Structure 1
């Protein structure tokens, strides 16, 4: 379909099919469209709101035009947040990934540099001397020998560079902001996703159901895109939907101040290290344990949340999570 036909459909308030948005994405990577046409499309989608089929189509195109990451294991999980909650928390999801790996589960963490906070996953991992790669022998060695692999988004999603300048110029979120969590190039069978609002929770829930993967989506009702323990939080999975309070997990309410990620990457690195070394403030330790517990429950659905929390706590307090991280750094530096 010609781009003018796509734009006409947008003007007529029609939605696009999964195949149409896939074709648009591929066309963008082939430089088939003018900047003004891409800008019009992204603006129209943002004003109307992207549909599940449209989001899946863009995902199809990014994965098709990107670099695949074929891992030599059958079941593993990614833990990621959408970002954009403007809370500048420390690297909770990344810490949780190493706790999950320390509990004996495989993890393929997909991440990038910070967009709205001081330190993204790639920032804090790179600060420890890790070198990012798309070499599959090295990546498979990492997940096989220490249970976790890190996939730096910029090495895999080649299509993103074609829309980067346009997204920056627009200065408002577009549908591409929603794609990060669902374009892990290894296409994991399990994912724990943190979202900043309940509208996003509904959207991603429908996306995951269409993809047929095991998922958990979490949102703290005061606006965090992860389990912050600052109040009630909602969890939606392919098996249940429930609102939790920290006391339901036997944990205390966290002070938002204690979840701040600092003003520099070095400060974020120090907080990250303090958690894995089991010397962090209780609030920081507890939020990592809570997120890791729900991740464990997604990948191992035989576990109750209390059992999953106990596994996460044992991983952290025994030093196994730290040992996994040190091995990860050794293998990837």
Structure 2
């Protein structure tokens, strides 16, 4: 590791094979916490390259516990995190809206490292028990259109670095890797990123993997469609800038999306969205993200149609019913 760190300190980049071997070494316990923290810090000070990202991804996928659910043709909806906005659990809410609309979802998530509440935090707040059992995950998908995969159960590397990530409290390249290493390797993915260079980086990486995708970025720095600004959506064959107004949404303020100061507060907002008692800004943000997820799966549908499906899932209580059934099956 010493030689690798010197190389990185001299502003050199890792090759794909080197990146893969480093991640394997972390999992095998070859490096101490200080060395891993130093490695992470390098990628806070400069951008990660495509070769580095793909090498890290290959290592994690090679070491994952595989899950066989792809006959469902599912989607994952996830943000990289690290945008510093501490929003409520928008992506997780959107997953239940999409599942409530009748589409299969495999959500890959973790505890919050840079925010109060990650997907796993909000799940635990509702009594959900995490599992890596393939039959249990399959049953959840069959009965309520959604399964949840707690990342550390499926990859030892993510578990090994979790305390270091939490202690640092800043975004790391593991934020970037999380969306790419869902062990199901789902057919579809909606990914939110916190800046435009990352949008380009993931666009290229997804093109290589063959995943059907959309990468979204709000221009004021959110790693999701926040409706606080115009936002860009990159798909395999197009890239387009949208404004909230052209899609029929009112523009909202940063304070409207704040996730609270504790996991309990974040979970309460999550509940209000699904129960239909949240603010219009909170609900609209979830609907917008769910709509673009539906469009990834059904590109022949107009975005207006997808918005209507997402809105109806929430307004008719389908998303709430799906979540209640999910908790019943997974507690």
CA deviations on 1:61-85 (whole Å, 9 max, x unpaired) are: 1122232222152411100111111
Distance in 1 between residues matched to 2:11 and 2:211, nearest whole Å: 31
| Paired residues of 2:83 and 2:194 also in contact (CA < 8 A) | yes
Aligned residue for 2:16? 18
Aligned residue for 1:31? 29
Q: What does 1:263-274 align with in structure 2 at a 5 Å threshold?
A: 263-274=261-272
The verdict on how the C-alpha distance between 1:33 and 1:274 changes in structure 2, with shifts beyond 3 A counting, is closer
CA deviations on 1:78-123 (whole Å, 9 max, x unpaired) are: 0011111121211111111011011111100011112222221111
Which residues of structure 2 form unaligned runs of 5+? none
| Paired residues of 1:246 and 1:253 also in contact (CA < 8 A) | yes
Which of residues 127, 132, 135 in structure 2 aligns to 1:134? 132
What is the Cα deviation at residue 28 of structure 1?
2.4
Q: TM-score, normalised by structure 1?
A: 0.92
Distance in 2 between residues matched to 1:86 and 1:8, nearest whole Å: 30
The verdict on how the C-alpha distance between 1:300 and 1:14 changes in structure 2, with shifts beyond 3 A counting, is same
Aligned residue for 1:61? 59
The verdict on how the C-alpha distance between 1:73 and 1:11 changes in structure 2, with shifts beyond 3 A counting, is same
What is the Cα deviation at residue 175 of structure 1?
2.2
What is the Cα deviation at residue 163 of structure 1?
3.4
CA deviations on 1:8-46 (whole Å, 9 max, x unpaired) are: 654665433322211221122223345565455444454
The verdict on how the C-alpha distance between 1:246 and 1:108 changes in structure 2, with shifts beyond 3 A counting, is same
The verdict on how the C-alpha distance between 1:263 and 1:171 changes in structure 2, with shifts beyond 3 A counting, is closer
Which residues of structure 1 form unaligned runs of 5+? none
The verdict on how the C-alpha distance between 1:5 and 1:141 changes in structure 2, with shifts beyond 3 A counting, is same
Distance in 2 between residues matched to 1:117 and 1:171, nearest whole Å: 8
Cα RMSD over matched residues? 2.1
Q: What does 1:239-254 align with in structure 2 at a 5 Å threshold?
A: 239-254=237-252
Aligned residue for 2:308? 310
Which of residues 115, 118, 128 in structure 1 aligns to 2:116? 118
Aligned residue for 2:191? 193
Which of residues 171, 181, 204 in structure 2 aligns to 1:206? 204
Which of residues 254, 257, 278 in structure 2 aligns to 1:256? 254
The verdict on how the C-alpha distance between 1:70 and 1:230 changes in structure 2, with shifts beyond 3 A counting, is same
2:83 matches 1:85: yes
Which of residues 288, 291, 302 in structure 2 aligns to 1:290? 288
The verdict on how the C-alpha distance between 1:253 and 1:169 changes in structure 2, with shifts beyond 3 A counting, is closer
| Paired residues of 2:230 and 2:243 also in contact (CA < 8 A) | yes
What is the Cα deviation at residue 264 of structure 1?
2.2
Q: How many residues align?
A: 331
Distance in 1 between residues matched to 2:221 and 2:127, nearest whole Å: 33
Distance in 2 between residues matched to 1:262 and 1:164, nearest whole Å: 23
Distance in 2 between residues matched to 1:171 and 1:282, nearest whole Å: 31
Distance in 2 between residues matched to 1:169 and 1:150, nearest whole Å: 25
Worse-superposed segment, 66-75 or 144-153: 66-75
Q: Which runs of 4+ in 1 moved over 6 A?
A: none
Aligned residue for 2:69? 71
| Paired residues of 2:113 and 2:171 also in contact (CA < 8 A) | no
Distance in 2 between residues matched to 1:21 and 1:276, nearest whole Å: 41
Distance in 2 between residues matched to 1:324 and 1:172, nearest whole Å: 33
